[in-house]
Amino acid sequence: MLSGCAGAYATPDASAAPSEPRAKPVGAACDAEPVQQHVGKEATQEVGKIVLEQSGARALRWGPPNSAWTMDYSEQRVNIRYDENMTITAITCG
């Protein structure tokens, strides 16, 4: 049953080990507005690191194409959705 949620946390490069987010102050809230310029770029780990830093979020969640998302909300998380071509389609907080 939990395997259905696993895809929501996959990185774009499945062969690469997931990286730990940098420690941020407790209560750091995500702001997706400053990172909207990354929509349309290739979904890479490097872009993910930049989005995480620029958004002020403490955690990053990748949204692969055609994947289910859990409905839990975290104001400390930035979400990056991408399509079959590894192009970022949306960046949101939550």
User: So what's the pLDDT on residue 69?
Assistant: 84
Q: How far is CA 31 from CA 57, 68, 77, 83, 92, in A?
A: 7, 23, 9, 22, 8
Map out the domains of the chain as residue ranges.
28-93
pLDDT band at 84 (very low <50, low <70, confident <90, very high): very high
- The answer to whether residue 3 scores a pLDDT higher than 50 is no
Please report the pLDDT score of residue 41 as a whole number: 98
* Predicted pLDDT at 35: 98
What CATH code is assigned to 28-93?
Answer: 3.30.10.10
> Rounded to two decimals, what is the model's pTM?
0.71
Which residue in this structure is represented by tokens 């349309």? 40
Encode pLDDT of 19-73 as tens digits: 444 444 555 699 999 999 999 999 999 999 999 999 999 999 999 999 988 888 9
The predicted structure's pLDDT at residue 70: 84
Q: Quick one: pLDDT at residue 91?
A: 98
